[in-house]
Amino acid sequence: MLNLKYYANTYLSDKESEIFLKYFAKTKIKNLETFVFMLNKVEQNIAWINNEEDKNKLRIIFPRLEASLKDITPSFNKLLEFLLEKVDTVEMFTEFNWKKDNHGGICPNCGERELFATNHGKGGFIKCNRANNCGYVGNVFGYLTKTKGMSTKDALNEISNRVGIDLDAYKKSFEVHCDGNSQINYNTKPKIVKIDRTIVANKEIAYEKLEPSKGVKEYNFYELINSYNDLTEKDKFCVVVSSIYHYSLKTNQNAKNNYYVGRNISGKYEPMLKSKIIKIVKQIGYLSMSNDVPNLISYLTSKFPLADLVKFGILNDANHKVPYSFKHFSEEGFIVIPNFDLYSNLILGLKLRNTKLAEWQNSSMKEPELSYGRIASPYPYGLNIDALKENYDFRFFEGQIDMFSIPEKDNVCDLAIPGVYGLKQEQLGLFKGKKIELWYDQDDAGQKVANGSLIIRIEQSFDLTSLKDKGFIEELKRTKYSINFEFNENIIKVKDIEFPKNRNGLEKFRMIEVITKRRNIPYQTRQIKGLKDKLIEAGVLEVTVKQWDTKLGSDVNDVLKRGNIRYLI
């Protein structure tokens, strides 16, 4: 158990420590994470105290001690960084079926034997070397969350198991316990993962085709709940997430409305957004963390088996510190964005927009999903069978905030694409013969997703004690482009130089080529396909990547907030 006396005496004044220990010295707390959680619930934990003067003092002491302890508690990012440093991708991720050393693994995206583990497999970084086609790049954490569909917490635990680290023991090594923390050993036997022979090399892309003859089937939602045990696994999942969605539409929506107004998405600010506001009111839900989520859990557990709610990623399992609690956390609540089925009135998944991240949450927790991609691949919000059947054009936006920030246009269907992997490549076949505009962020990251990338790789290292080598590095720096370097004393290596495959990026790419050629430095170039390339491959008739002067705004919502949205339409 935590040594509360130590923490009180270390981080509080003598008088504050005395008051705190007067009431909580005998409280048994397992770890710092639980202690911080307790300190965050001031009123709940001091309600039993009768002395009002002491209660008022504790109202000051609790947040002060909480703030101090947060600084010494290893964050999610720090834990992930620590684990990735210990990853040997080749030894610990054998499911990639490596052909030789850190080369020739099977890419989880395209299925070809072009996966490469950089730095001889150390650090967990992987990428596909399939020239001019795949472009898969990431690390083993991204592989586990995006490809395998694990939650961020489950992926962290999976990596810790594979590298042989007991995360609870590792966190305990930062803490002071009553037993003195004598010789904490957080090393365990690494988990061995057998090669997954189900990954098939040279996988062909099976593009999805529209089936207009299916129509849209209208299910009686309550009948489906009553016959739940007789449903297929896919239909069970769809009924569960449909229940969550319909529940979220019946809650108090004030926080949702304030959230959008805070981003200037309101009819008062921009009257031309009226039809988009109507969609927000009718189709977007809200769940407050304090009231709605607990009530939702009670509702779900009364209707569906606990085992299914855990399996579908709705609730945490029995081993969680708060058993059967909601899988995701917010300081405030979640905007609920549905992924409608094309052929029925059921929901295939939900995107949750966290309206207020906790201090310990990283940006990857901003938009969690309730999806089960193995059996129900969700379509982006806004897609419907009528728009696909009719002669509609499409506008793709980087998420629902941007999509709601621009007025609707006749005979145009607006889609919210959630992130880089928000639309499966197979689903691009639905847009065959259509015209599409990509309204992505104007920064390099957004333009790389839309247009693809141009990459220069300089293999050799450079010695800064050499005037020739130093001159090359200084010339690269003078370009003021975003170029990263690795240092090892006087030896420096240029990391891959990547630019968006647009006019501005091409100019920068050619400048680096000129500098490198002039100095006779050997280099390699390659391209990574963007969404535009993949759409054209899927048979899309015309793809336009929208670009505008960033003085108007960096993304669509930024343009709206600056009062410039009418310049884009």
Q: Does residue 132 surpass a pLDDT of 80? A: no
Query: Mean pLDDT, to the nearest integer, of 10-18?
Result: 91
Ranges 7-11, 280-284, 509-513: which has the least confidence: 7-11
Of the ranges 7-11, 88-92, 280-284, 388-392, which is most confident? 280-284
Domain locations along the chain = 4-73, 77-172, 212-439, 449-533
Cβ atoms of residues 287 and 293 within 8 Å: yes
Amino acid of residue 477: K
For residues 349 and 245, give the distance between their C-alpha atoms in angstroms, rounded to a whole number: 9
Query: Mean pLDDT, to the nearest integer, of 252-257?
Result: 96
DSSP 394: E
In terms of pTM, does the model score above 0.85? no
Q: What is residue 62's predicted lDDT score, i.e. its pLDDT? A: 93
In percent, the amount of the chain with pLDDT more than 90 equals 54
Query: Mean pLDDT, to the nearest integer, of 234-263?
Result: 96
What are the tokens at 222? 């309550």
Of the ranges 252-256, 323-327, 376-380, which is most confident? 252-256
Listed in sequence order, the residues at least 6 apart from 99 whose beta carbon sits closer than 8 Å to its beta carbon are 105, 113
Q: Which SS3 state, helix, strand or coil, does residue 368 take?
A: coil
Query: Mean pLDDT, to the nearest integer, of 221-240?
Result: 92
Q: What is the mean pLDDT of the chain?
A: 88
Query: Mean pLDDT, to the nearest integer, of 173-202?
Result: 64
Q: Please report which helix (H) or strand (E) contains residue 115, including its range.
A: strand 115-117
How does pLDDT run across 141-184, given as a tens digit for each residue? 988 988 888 888 889 999 999 988 888 888 888 788 887 655 56
Ranges 23-32, 162-171, 190-199, 548-557: which has the least confidence: 190-199
CATH architecture of 449-533: 2-Layer Sandwich (3.30)
Q: Does residue 404 surpass a pLDDT of 60? A: yes
Q: Does residue 71 surpass a pLDDT of 60? A: yes
What are the tokens at 1? 């158990």
Which one has a higher pLDDT value, 463 or 113?
Answer: 463
How does pLDDT run across 287-318, given as a tens digit for each residue? 999 999 999 999 999 999 999 999 998 999 88
Amino acid of residue 98: W
Examine domains 77-172 and 449-533 and report if their fold is the same.
no
Rg (CA), the chain: 27
Number of CB atoms found within 10 A of residue 421's CB: 16
For residues 505 and 511, give the distance between their C-alpha atoms in angstroms, rounded to a whole number: 10
DSSP 390: T
Query: Mean pLDDT, to the nearest integer, of 23-29?
Result: 91
Q: Does residue 200 surpass a pLDDT of 50? A: no
Structure confidence at residue 133 as a pLDDT band (50, 70, 90): low
Q: Does residue 538 surpass a pLDDT of 50? A: yes
CATH number of 77-172: 3.90.580.10
In percent, the amount of the chain with pLDDT more than 70 equals 94
Q: What is residue 198's predicted lDDT score, i.e. its pLDDT? A: 44
Query: CB-based burial of residue 346 (10 Å sphere; 0-12 exposed, 13-18 middle, 19+ buried)?
Result: buried
Which one has a higher pLDDT value, 339 or 186?
Answer: 339
What are the tokens at 322? 């708060």
Cβ atoms of residues 420 and 109 within 8 Å: no
Q: What is residue 237's predicted lDDT score, i.e. its pLDDT? A: 94
Cβ atoms of residues 80 and 156 within 8 Å: yes
Residue 379: φ, ψ to 5°: -95, 155
Q: What is residue 201's predicted lDDT score, i.e. its pLDDT? A: 43
Per-residue burial over 445-459, b if 16 or more Cβ lie within 10 Å, else e, is ebbbbbbbbbbbebe
Query: Mean pLDDT, to the nearest integer, of 109-135?
Result: 75
State the greatest distance between any 2 C-alpha atoms of the chain, in Å, as a whole number.
80
- Topology classification of domain 212-439: DNA primase DNAg catalytic core, N-terminal domain (3.90.980)
Structure confidence at residue 202 as a pLDDT band (50, 70, 90): very low
